[in-house]
Amino acid sequence: MTGPSSRHAAARTAWVAAQLEKARLLHLDGINFDLEDPIPPGHPLARNYTALVAVTASAFHAAIPGSQVSVDVPWSPFGIDGRSYDWHGLASAADLLFVMAYDMQSQIWGSCVASANSPAALVLRGAQQWLELGIPADKLILGLPWYGYRYPCANPAFAAGQEQLCALPPTPFQGAPCSDAAGDPPASRRFQVWFDSPQSLEAKYALAARLGLRGVGVWHLDCVDYRCSDAACRGETEGMWAALRAFTGAAAGSRQPAKQQTRL
């Protein structure tokens, strides 16, 4: 007779075997976990998730020498989007934690207005909180956005040019009354665009270097226009890659805050 724990173990074993087979077939050198469902404090799902990552890491390291197992984590370890996971256990089980320092307006508890997707002050606070929690710096990858949000502006005063703040239509998410899910309005509506530039990214890459983090990462690489022909567009695309030198130690240019643009 088998109980729930033995069935869970069997399911984990089968799932890991399937992922290993896929990795071998596609010549991959590891696996990334990205679970973002809310889990309340103390829930057994958090322990089960850690156990799955641990079993997977052990299997991948044994079968594919040099392979890496990474886990995506929110920009802060403290209850973002209702995620109360076993952070210490995940950090111990995995090779890397990929800190998703973007979509930081997923829960807006204050004024429901458009703002930066990855504000530098919050990026710093979140990284420090991971370190203060006791997660080693060499386990942390700072993930930053190569994309932005186009927000519809619900306030008539903005449309009339009388206000700079773009009030968002309430779009609840994980208990918060407002979120970045309000983005991407119809083309005919007045909107405001927030995105990271090479200069704002450079400042945050330099921050990761100062904190001694393991590395930096990108989400999404495919939002940059690699086919543009005019010099300004090419310069912006090349600048996104050049900004990474602020982490690797090569010379970098001036640093500026994230850009804001308004479009009709």
Catalytic residues: 36
39: three-class secondary structure by DSSP:
strand
Return the structure tokens found at 115. Answer: 């703002």
Return the structure tokens found at 242. Answer: 């050049």
143: three-class secondary structure by DSSP:
strand
Q: Which helix (H) or strand (E) holds 103?
A: none
64, burial (CB in 10 Å: exposed 0-12, middle 13-18, buried 19+): middle
Return the structure tokens found at 26. Answer: 């596609």
DSSP code, position 21? H
As a whole number of angstroms, the distance between CA 57 and CA 52 comes to 9
* Bond before 220 cis per omega within 30 degrees: yes
As a whole number of angstroms, the distance between CA 86 and CA 260 comes to 37
